[in-house]
Amino acid sequence: MKNGRPVNSLVVDEDNLIPGNPTYESITESVAGIPEQKQTPKAWWALFLTAVSLAGLFFAEIGYLFYEGTGIWGLQIPVAWGFAIVNFVFWVGIGHAGTLISAILFLLRQRWRTSINRFAEAMTIFAVICALMFPTIHVGRVWFIYWTMPIPNQMDMWPNFRSGLVWDAFAVGTYFLCSLLFWYVGLVPDLATLRDRATGKIRKMLYGLFSLGWRGSNRQWRHYELAYLVLAGISTPLVLSVHSIVSTDFATSLVPGWHTTIFPPYFVAGAIFSGFAMVMTLSIIARSVYKLEHIITMKVLERMNIIMLVTGTMVGYAYGMEFFIAWYSGNQYEQFTFINRAFGPYAWAYWIMISCNVIAPQLFWSKKLRTTIPVMFVASIVINIGMWFERFVITMSLSRDFLPSSWDYYSPTIHDIALLVGSFGLFFSLFLLFLRFLPMVAMSEVKAILPQADPHHHTEQIHG
Amino acid sequence: MAQIFPKWTNRLPLYLALGVLVIGTTVVLLLWYYGSPRYLEVGYRPIQPVAYSHKLHAGDLGMDCRYCHTAVEKSRFATVPPTQTCMNCHQLILPESQKLLPVRESWATGDPIEWVRVHNLPDYAYFDHSRHIQSGVGCISCHGNVAQMEIVSQVEPLNMGWCLTCHRDPAPNLRPVDQVTNMAWQPPADHAEWAARFMQEHNIRPPEDCSACHR
Amino acid sequence: MAEGERKIYGVLAEFRSTGDLLHAAEKMHGEGFRNWDVHSPFPVHGMDRAMGLGRSPLGFIVGIAGTTGLTLFALFLYWINVYDYPLVISGKPYYSFQAFVPPMFAITILSAALAAFFGMLALNKLPRLFHPLFASKEFEKVTNGGMFISIEASDPRFKHDETAKFLESIGATSVEIVRGEA
Amino acid sequence: MSPIKKGHTLTGKQYWRSLDELAGTPEFEDWLHREFPQGASEWNNAWSRRSFLTLMGASLALAGLSGCRRPEEHIVPYVKKPEDMVPGNPLKYATAIPMGLHACGLLVESHEGRPTKIEGNLKHPANRGRTDARIQASVLDLYDPDRSTVPSRGGVRSDWTAFVSFWREQFVAFQATGGEGLAVLSETFSSPTMMRLRRAFEARFPNARWVAWDPISDENRYEAIRAVLGRVHQPVFHYDRAKVVLSLESDFLLTEPEAVTATLGFTSGRRIESEKDQMNRLYVVESLYTLTGANADHRLRINSSDVGAFALAVAGELQRQGLAIEGLNGLTVPTMTGRAAEWLAPLAKDLLRARGESLIVAGSGQPAAVHALVMAINGALGNLDRTITYVDNRDAAYPSTSGLTKLTADMAAGKVSALVMIGGNPVYNAPADLNFAAALSKVATSVHLSSRVDETSAATVWHIPRSHYLEMWGDARSLDGTLSVIQPLIEPLYQSVSEVELTALLASGESARGYDLVRETWAGLVTGNFEVGWQTALLNGILSDSALPSIPVNAAQVGIAQAMASHGWSLRPTATTNLEVVFHPCYTTGDGTRANNGWLHELPDPITKLSWDNVATFSPKTARELGVQNEDIVSIQLQGRELSIAAWIVPGQMDNAVGLSFGYGREKAGRVGNGVGVDTYRLRDSQNMYRAGSATVSNTGRRYELATTQDHGSMEGRPIILMASLDEYRENPDFITGASVIPEFMAESEKAKERDLVREYPSSWKEPDYSTGYQWGMSIDLTTCTGCQACTVACQAENNIPIVGKEQVRKGREMHWIRVDRYFTGDVEDPGMEHQPMPCQHCENAPCEQVCPVAATVHDTEGLNVMVYNRCIGTRYCSNNCPYKVRRFNFFNYTDEYPETIKMVQNPEVTVRSRGVMEKCTYCVQRINRGKQVAKLENRSIRDGEVTPACAQACPAEAIVFGNINDSESRVARVKRINRTYSLLGELNTQPRTTYLASIRNPNPEMKA
């Protein structure tokens, strides 16, 4: 077997995940080297300044929103939910890939995840931060938002736990905290690495502080690994539940086009779909900016593309199934809603969604295409556009519900759009800061999957 | 030599944990007390444009509340009396008193006296005096023993939770309807049974519905 | 140098590879050392067995925390909906628990996750910013590629030179005496 | 002792609590004058009740979990309290609203001296406690911030005494010449006091002249009556006595002045309890789509100019079927074609069948000839003295366009030296060809009595502020002559006088108080002890049995042919192929006088559902031919005059007809009305007052954004309004059952249950118990509902619903708690129309409740779906989940922009909502609570009908019934048991407390639909 790799690996095709026999030190060098750079790359600055100014726009808009009221948006009756909710669902969805890669693939012993899980997790956290912004700011009287939490008060009132929005608050809040813990736990050994390599006093202090005095002792690894496993274990049902619960915002209502049992699985699939697309976009940027081709290999990218192909097709199936059920239910309101989706005033959005989410990923059937960087880069962005429109199309079911008398057409204002764009600014600002100051690849995990990391590596002949 | 932190820092986590615990609880407790109407509302005691003493009129002279607060049995508002009411007596009694100057001015010029509101519910809460009076809730239950107040101050928090406690168990605050204005009234030993009967007869079922107070 | 006066913390030995480390650990365990440990940049497969360590109790902690969180929250929901302020909402029963499943689930997960995190820190006695081993320049390699075994002077079987020799005998490439401060 | 707590910085005055007590006192008026110097366009928004929630909000947030350190608030009591007034308890006074030659009796609710809400006076025969949108909105005119506050001379601030002394000089001067060159131009009126003073004036100045004129009036009808009967009599139509009604382009259900009276009578003939009852039948012949047409059992669209010919054809057909119609001989009966032809035989047969119980009425837009002909036919059918009576109202000043024409000519010729205009706005709305403005400039002394400095006042020397009818003493007769006192609810807010007071000054040269003038008149009217009679009249609002006796009219004397000949009238059909412009009054702004009333502007037109604009309406076919679409700006040329206005397509309108409504495009109406819509009077001339042929229309290619409250007019085949013809209903009394989209297995249980539509399906859990105490419910009868939207404005007035303005309406943010949905049914070119009032349905399983994260909307023990504003955080989730979309959201702080005067109209019993909270119909919970309070004080339970929501109270069709459904004897319970009862979208198992009675029409079986 080439370079004596063990056969007991759970994954069959694992050949050179990390090509060119690197040493532990070379891994450390290439990963830890980045935050230690004296000279910040021009590309980073360019991206960061753009992102930060957009983030500025985001908060300016929020300020104006609080001053004027939700009227600055295109909202109305019947369409009382617009971009804010669409963006919320979109960002929560993005988050999912992170947890999926870090948790589920970890449980499935998918070792190739190690090169991307760190910044996938980071992405999750930043995405969820963006997501949490929207339901908060979209309420009419934001200064009372804490009423959705069970805090004792002079009114003797409690939140209504029957409401999907309260479920959201709990689910997404929990999701954020767990992801954060999971991410940080993973970071600790690598922060220790940075601590030990740091030169400046402040860097030493900071990395020292956050690595909690990690000594890589096996008595620590023992609890550490179990904690990591447990967190992965509970994150898995959590990540599945979060988007299911988000979907119940719609599914537990009686709006035709919302009131559907297929929503939870369909939302989760969609979330993973868009999440992977985002990871793809980011990793392509990261590996080209920081020359990490040897760690984030083509193999890894290709596998992500395959997952996108699969989930994309699942989403496509869900679209089809919605129509079938609408017809099969014999409920004229449902039937109308779906005909209206495809051919009504919002048909344009619908067909954008279909072509981006169902047709685009089909490219990846071809080995050639799913291994060409430009193709997958464009595809990943197209897919996220499509997934945003999916949420838009679903939300717009409101525009035509039961009584034709109340039908109306929602169109966003400049402020709706500014907030959407701004949220990307916030997301990328955070992400670029992460790239600059933290190890973007889980070094200890990558080292652990190096051939020489296996104790039986050189000595297996002895144990015949 | 490669040590970054001195040894004592190992005790930091412990201190931190304790600190968070202690400070956290204090903050909560402080909020609980200082954030509550019991602190914010109770004891509000503005100086009135006229040095009118409830103690003197309602207490020592034993005037009935309804002599001035005429509408209390008929209307949502207890109503603050018009200058007229003051003058009914004070044209004869202490017609020269300095204290009464603002009253006489008002009477002469027709400019109303601007009393400062003491018991003030938010405008989205609709409290109806007449219905409570009719149901035998004494003035003292919400306003305290006004007959002993030189300057009227607020003695009850008047927040929603406080209202609800009575609406959920009104018996302790009920009294014979003819005793509502009597500040000295003491519940007899058999008050509980009496209250039960009284609620039966007058079919007193205080609502907990939102619509009872908010419209 | 001041080292003279400083009290010995223990011995730190470096090894070449995970393989050597594992075998060394097996031997240490065989010798019946107690206050010793193995240091590596990543968890080494089979090391727990080699050192003779049992299962981590973290699992139980998490399990208990999760169930407690769930129970308390369920009771809380029952109290607010049935006793404290029952409200007729969409004509549904006061305690329509079906609707409360999602938040209950979230709370369960949350308490479990917090338990896992803080439990892990507690069991590892972290954060511990100062440790005598950090005094060793060599030890910095442990987070990079270095494999070490450390034995504390407090170990009953610890004998200054013999232990060092023993370590070399089981494959240490270099051995260093580590001193804590006086 | 605890320190005195100062509130956080809350600058400005706290009006509300104080205003309650202040209003009506002299201090308050001073304040008003300070607040509103004449022509002041900017006003300051001090903190006040309306902003309270926001305020509390902010501070609550600051103060953490509880109420805030509150601002110091003052209580301002009376100095002398007016007797029989208990602060906190509203008082109701009887008065009447003058409407030209008609009047309706009112009970006006007053809070601490502020009139806030108008109700009908049950004792008044004209409206029997009912009102319409215009009457409901009139209280807002009182507080109109753009009313003028003081008289002005040549635009310079002056005062009443100055005018009095000025007039004295004039008076003396004119006395010498017997009033030569003196003229008075007044609105039409029907008031003993006004007439008495007018006579006094005419006696004093024999050479002076008095012209009464209204831009929109029944003048043509009066002209016909004069021609036929020799002098003008007031016709009174008794729709309640008619079995068959034929309307010849008469919109008697909406825009005609007596709409309320007519609606009451007409719908009383359509209210059916079961399939066995009888219904009246309404035929409508018209060119535009009117609300009357929408309620017709048969509607024929035809050119307005062909209506006369059609009437003649009907007469001919009646004769053919053996009815002798006097004096028709010599008239050639035209031949009808198409549907009109098909109509004749069955229509005539139906009319004959209902001799003496039929009623033919021609619209005010139709020429005198048609009215005369109609009189003849009614006479022949024996309807006179039955469904139509004539009264001789000597207190009425009838309109005269010829008088106006002559007056204007003389003014232009400089023959008029002094012109006093009592109300009206001729510069704006006189026929364009008269060129009134130019003529007016020739008049040396011109005086205008008007509520504001409008187009006319701006062109006169003197402007005198006019008192609102809620501020003045007066009297008025309704059409049947019933006499009522107009008594003020509040001292005039400004230095204004009433028409009575001004006329008195004109006649006597002395300034007199309205009160004395009216009493003086009534001294001659009240029989027996005056004081007693006067007090009773004030109490009841009417002088008992003051209705005038009907003049017996002999059918034989109706010499129509001679009349025609003598006046050169013709009924020949104009074979017009080119476009015909048809003018019609706007329901809301009327002739334009109401153009500064936000409630009326925001109220959508019942046919087009457009608010805040007037449009040119076209039929789909004509629009296609002209290449015009909705919101295109079209240019209309008519006799050399041009007008550019936005187009709107109305299915069912006559092809080649262009509908234009009056009352818009005001330039000096005020901050609300200025520049709203287009002034269509510019196209109108004295020869063609209501219609004009040979117009040319071209698409300018420009577009104009219109604000409609309903984009979609089709029911999409959904069971929203359930309909049947009377015959179908009789065949299948339970046609409701199975009419909706209930799956089979549910339909079973649907059939099983007995007809109480609150409980429909078996529940999977124990439902809350609503079997005890009051359980409120509502029923809306779609058969009688005409779609007039009186309910909408009544609700707006009662519940402090904000005006949001055109842009917001266009965005879809109108706030009406009860909207009236309009659906077209049947053929696209010539459809039928149905209306459906849509308030909150108060579902027992309200979908809105479960989705609210903070339990801001929940159920109370009496089955109300309550919306708690102060708990609402504004997620708007409830609205999404409401299948009826009746919830309204405060996207901005709408009431914040209100001028202080407008805030005075707000109902202190209802919280004013702040920004960011949801609101909706509450079944007028404040009235329920008031009812409970009253009942409690009297130690009894609420009687049936004691508590009525504003909508039900206003409804002139009595279509809305509200009450306690737990009491099986209550009216609402009985109505809900009618087998036409259904709950909208019942299959969603929302179990609404508001149910509907299916719409039944009564088409003539012998006539093809």
Each residue of D286-324: pLDDT tens digit?
999 999 999 999 999 999 988 999 999 999 999 999 888
> What is the C-alpha separation between A394 and A259, in angstroms, rounded?
11
Nearest CA in chain B to C1: B1
Task: Write the residue in A154, A195, A213 that is nearest to B159 by C-beta.
Answer: A154
> What is the C-alpha separation between D600 and D542, in angstroms, rounded?
28
Interface test with A, best of D705, D789, D811 (most A CBs within 10 A): D811
Least confident of A448-452, B19-23, D174-178: A448-452
Each residue of D111-160: pLDDT tens digit?
888 899 999 999 999 999 999 999 999 999 999 999 999 999 998 999 99
- Contact D916/A at CB under 8 A: yes
Phi/psi of residue D658, each to 5°? -115, 115
The two three-digit tokens of residue D580, written as one number: 């015909």
Q: Please say if the pLDDT value at position C161 is more than 50.
A: yes
pLDDT, residue D102, reads 93
Query: Of the candidates C116, C128, C136, C138, which has an alpha carbon nearest to the alpha carbon of residue C62?
Result: C116
- Contact C7/D at CB under 8 A: no
Which three-class secondary structure state does DSSP give residue D968?
coil
- The residues, ordered by sequence, that sit 6+ positions from C148 with a Cβ below 8 Å of its Cβ are C12, C13, C14, C15, C38, C39, C40, C138, C139, C141, C142
- Contact A454/C at CB under 8 A: yes
- Contact A196/C at CB under 8 A: yes
> What is the C-alpha separation between D537 and D813, in angstroms, rounded?
45
User: Partners for C (CB, 8 Å, 3+ pairs)?
Assistant: A, B, D
Q: Do C136 and B5 touch (CB under 8 A)?
A: no
> What is the C-alpha separation between C85 and C90, in angstroms, rounded?
16
- Assign C7 a pLDDT band (cuts: 50, 70, 90): confident
Measured between CA atoms, how close is B125 to chain D, in angstroms?
Answer: 9
- To the nearest whole number, what is the mean pLDDT of chain D? 86
Q: Do A156 and B4 touch (CB under 8 A)?
A: no
Q: Do A174 and C77 touch (CB under 8 A)?
A: no
State the alpha helices, DSSP H only, in D579-661.
598-602, 620-626
Burial-class residue B91 by CB neighbours within 10 Å (0-12, 13-18, 19+): exposed
Query: Of the candidates D947, D957, D954, D960, which has an alpha carbon nearest to the alpha carbon of residue D994?
Result: D960
Q: Please say if the pLDDT value at position A6 is more than 90.
A: no
Each residue of A54-67: pLDDT tens digit?
999 999 999 999 99
Interface test with B, best of D22, D60, D79, D867 (most B CBs within 10 A): D79
Q: Please say if the pLDDT value at position C3 is more than 50.
A: no
Taking phi first (over 0 means left), then psi (-120 to 50 degrees means alpha), and beta for anything else, what does residue D916 get?
A: left
pLDDT, residue D256, reads 86
The two three-digit tokens of residue A92, written as one number: 């929560």
* Helix (H) or strand (E) run with residue B116 in it: strand B115-116
Q: Do C91 and D858 touch (CB under 8 A)?
A: no
- Contact A141/D at CB under 8 A: yes
Q: Within the 25-54 window of chain A, which residues sit less than 8 Å (CB to CB) from chain C?
A: 25, 28
Nearest CA in chain B to A206: B4
Task: Write the residue in A174, A221, A454 that is nearest to C18 by C-beta.
Answer: A454
> What is the C-alpha separation between A441 and A190, in angstroms, rounded?
9
- Contact A23/C at CB under 8 A: yes
Mean pLDDT of A5-21: 46
> What is the C-alpha separation between C23 and D832, in angstroms, rounded?
95
pLDDT, residue D12, reads 30
Q: Do A154 and B164 touch (CB under 8 A)?
A: no
> What is the C-alpha separation between A92 and A267, in angstroms, rounded?
10
Measured between CA atoms, how close is A453 to chain B, in angstroms?
Answer: 27
pLDDT, residue C2, reads 44
Nearest CA in chain A to D851: A163
pLDDT, residue D556, reads 56
> What is the C-alpha separation between D87 and B69, in angstroms, rounded?
11
Chains A, C: CB contacts within 8 A come to 208
State the alpha helices, DSSP H only, in D607-677.
620-626
Sign of CA dihedral D264, D268, D272, D278: negative
- Chain centroid offset of residue D761 CA: 41
Q: Within the 298-327 window of chain A, which residues sit less than 8 Å (CB to CB) from chain D?
A: none
Each residue of D723-774: pLDDT tens digit?
999 999 999 888 887 555 444 444 444 444 444 444 456 677 888 888 888 9
pLDDT, residue D657, reads 93
- Contact B5/C at CB under 8 A: yes
Each residue of D872-921: pLDDT tens digit?
999 999 999 999 999 999 999 988 778 888 888 889 899 999 899 999 99
Each residue of A339-351: pLDDT tens digit?
999 999 999 999 9
Query: Of the candidates A393, A258, A295, which has an alpha carbon nearest to the alpha carbon of residue A20?
Result: A295
The two three-digit tokens of residue D690, written as one number: 């209501």
pTM assigned to the model: 0.90
The two three-digit tokens of residue D987, written as one number: 């299959």
Residue whose structure tokens are 């009357």:
D292
Residue whose structure tokens are 């605890």:
D2
pLDDT, residue D574, reads 63
Interface test with B, best of C129, C133, C134, C141 (most B CBs within 10 A): C129
Q: Do A178 and C40 touch (CB under 8 A)?
A: no
> What is the C-alpha separation between D201 and D507, in angstroms, rounded?
4
Q: Please say if the pLDDT value at position A49 is more than 70.
A: yes
Phi/psi of residue D775, each to 5°? -130, 105
CA-CA distances (angstroms) from residue D629 to A201, D440, D639, D701? Answer: 75, 40, 25, 10
pLDDT, residue D557, reads 60
pLDDT, residue D4, reads 35
Find the angle CA(D935)-CA(D940)-CA(D945) to the nearest 5 degrees.
60
The two three-digit tokens of residue A406, written as one number: 């109340």
C178, C132 contact by CB (below 8 A) = yes
D795, D816 contact by CB (below 8 A) = yes
Whether the bond between C127 and the residue before it is cis, its omega within 30 degrees of 0, is: yes
Query: Of the candidates B46, B56, B47, B52, which has an alpha carbon nearest to the alpha carbon of residue B147?
Result: B56
D851, A165 contact by CB (below 8 A) = yes
- Residues of chain A found within 8 Å of residue D888, distances taken between Cβ atoms: 77
Residue whose structure tokens are 């699992």:
C59
Each residue of D325-381: pLDDT tens digit?
877 777 788 888 889 999 999 999 999 999 999 999 999 999 998 998 898 899 889
Q: Can you spell out the DSSP letters for A433-456?
A: HHHHHS-SS-HHHHHHTSGGGSTT
Each residue of D626-653: pLDDT tens digit?
999 999 999 999 888 999 999 999 999 9
pLDDT, residue D660, reads 94
- Residues of chain D found within 8 Å of residue B122, distances taken between Cβ atoms: 52, 56, 67, 870
Residues facing residue B194 across a β-bridge: none
Q: Do A156 and B161 touch (CB under 8 A)?
A: yes
- Contact D915/A at CB under 8 A: yes
B146, B153 contact by CB (below 8 A) = no
Q: Do D869 and B128 touch (CB under 8 A)?
A: no
Query: Of the candidates A308, A84, A287, A446, which has an alpha carbon nearest to the alpha carbon of residue D874?
Result: A84
pLDDT, residue D577, reads 64
Which three-class secondary structure state does DSSP give residue D799?
coil
- Assign D36 a pLDDT band (cuts: 50, 70, 90): very low
Task: Write the residue in A154, A156, A213 that is nearest to B36 by C-beta.
Answer: A154
- Assign D253 a pLDDT band (cuts: 50, 70, 90): very high
Chains B, C: CB contacts within 8 A come to 31
> What is the C-alpha separation between D708 and D648, in angstroms, rounded?
11
Q: Do C116 and A197 touch (CB under 8 A)?
A: no
Interface test with C, best of B3, B209, B211 (most C CBs within 10 A): B3
Neighbours of D2 (CB within 10 A): 11
ipTM of this predicted structure: 0.91
- Contact A154/B at CB under 8 A: yes
pLDDT, residue A143, reads 93
Mean pLDDT of D589-596: 89
Find the angle CA(A381)-CA(A383)-CA(A384) to the nearest 5 degrees.
65
The two three-digit tokens of residue D509, written as one number: 């040269």
A411, A54 contact by CB (below 8 A) = no
CA-CA distances (angstroms) from residue A216 to C11, C58, D186, D711, D777? Answer: 16, 18, 102, 69, 73
D451, D466 contact by CB (below 8 A) = yes
Q: Within the 10-69 window of chain B, which residues sit less than 8 Å (CB to CB) from chain C?
A: 10, 12-13
- Contact C54/A at CB under 8 A: no
Burial-class residue D95 by CB neighbours within 10 Å (0-12, 13-18, 19+): buried
Mean pLDDT of D667-682: 91
Residue D391 half-sphere exposure toward CB, CA atoms < 13 A: 20
pLDDT, residue D337, reads 86
C14, C173 contact by CB (below 8 A) = yes
